């Protein structure tokens, strides 16, 4: 995800020489320097963060407490903005680990950010200024669309919908491919038709003034093939399954926040 953000920022006009990245692995630093000429790489987090206006915490959630605690003594509380893209870690815990009194933006991006088609939910703590708010939005918007929430608890809903959401779509595509092969199509054809159908439907929904329900109705002729397929899905409880799935994801996000925040 960090690599995606770097690429997106540079593509959107951020000067490469203003970007400092830390990674303990030399081969990773060399790879980053090759991929993004002009950026600065460091072996130590403190070296990258020392003079930074914005610090992006792009590490695994299980490592965030350790990373924050190692940076606490070098943080400039009056000027620096902290952006966390670590899933499941509340801003209060990040603030505590870093020593307190910080401007923090917590983000929940998703994997399509890897191809600059991400959807990111953001939450800003009260200490985030308007300028910092705009900077955070600019960074995350470089890899897709952004949506701000006023209540940090809603980040769990964002996680359930868009953070985990790509996996739901992949499962639907996978199921369509398998069903198409059973109907006689070869694997390559089944994959291509399923992928292009998913892409086309999403693009049509994005560009249309109609909501998903209206679009569904427009493609469903009375007594036709689509109506029959949708009847099977509805009778199979598809809506209930999705409601239960998203609820389970949101509950798990809250459980993980409790577990990881206890460090």
Give the tens place of pLDDT for each residue, 233-255: 999 999 999 999 999 999 999 99
- Residue 200: phi, psi to the nearest 5? -65, -40
Domains of the chain: 2-158 (3.40.50.720), 165-255 (1.10.3730.10)
93-120 pLDDT, tens digit per residue, is 999 999 999 999 999 999 999 899 999 9
Over 90: is that where the pLDDT of 56 sits? yes
Residue 51: predicted pLDDT:
78
146-171 pLDDT, tens digit per residue, is 999 999 999 999 999 999 999 999 99
Residue 146: predicted pLDDT:
97
Over 90: is that where the pLDDT of 50 sits? no
Do residues 71 and 98 lie in contact, with contact meaning Cβ atoms separated by under 8 Å? yes
Q: Give CA–CA dist 88/159, Å, rounded.
A: 9
Residue 209: predicted pLDDT:
96
DSSP element (H, E) containing 83: strand 81-84
Residues 196-210 have a mean pLDDT of 97
Which tokens go with 149? 């929430």
Over 80: is that where the pLDDT of 263 sits? no
pLDDT band at 74 (very low <50, low <70, confident <90, very high): confident
Q: Give CA–CA dist 42/174, Å, rounded.
A: 41
Do residues 24 and 50 lie in contact, with contact meaning Cβ atoms separated by under 8 Å? no
Residues 12-18 have a mean pLDDT of 93
Distance of CA 52 to the CA centre of its chain: 23
Mean pLDDT of the chain: 94
Residues 3-13 have a mean pLDDT of 91
Over 80: is that where the pLDDT of 77 sits? no
Over 90: is that where the pLDDT of 75 sits? no
Residue 103: predicted pLDDT:
96
Q: Give CA–CA dist 75/68, Å, rounded.
A: 10
Q: Give CA–CA dist 201/122, Å, rounded.
A: 26
Residues 12-21 have a mean pLDDT of 94
């Amino acid at each position: 995800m960090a690599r995606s953000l770097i690429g997106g920022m540079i593509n959107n006009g951020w000067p490469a020489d203003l970007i400092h990245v830390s990674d303990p692995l030399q081969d990773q630093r060399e790879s980053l320097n090759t991929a993004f000429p002009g950026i600065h790489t460091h072996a130590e987090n403190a070296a990258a963060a020392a003079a930074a206006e914005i610090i992006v915490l792009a590490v695994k959630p299980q490592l965030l407490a350790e990373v924050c605690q190692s940076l606490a003594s070098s943080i400039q509380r009056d000027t620096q903005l902290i952006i966390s893209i670590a899933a499941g870690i509340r801003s209060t815990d990040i603030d505590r680990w870093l020593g307190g009194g910080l401007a923090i933006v917590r983000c929940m991006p998703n994997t399509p950010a890897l191809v600059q088609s991400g959807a990111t939910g953001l939450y800003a703590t009260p200490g985030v200024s308007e300028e910092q708010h705009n900077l955070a939005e600019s960074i995350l918007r470089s890899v897709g669309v952004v949506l701000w929430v006023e209540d940090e608890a809603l980040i769990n809903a964002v996680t359930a919908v868009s953070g985990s959401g790509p996996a739901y779509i992949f499962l639907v595509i996978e199921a369509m491919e398998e069903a198409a092969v059973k109907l006689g199509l070869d694997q390559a054809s089944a994959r291509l038709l399923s992928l292009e159908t998913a892409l086309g439907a999403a693009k049509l929904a994005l560009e249309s003034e109609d909501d998903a329900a209206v679009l569904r109705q427009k493609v469903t002729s009375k007594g036709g093939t689509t109506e029959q397929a949708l009847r099977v899905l509805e009778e199979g409880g598809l809506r209930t399954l999705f409601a239960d799935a998203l609820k389970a994801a949101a509950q798990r996000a809250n459980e993980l926040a409790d577990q990881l925040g206890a460090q």
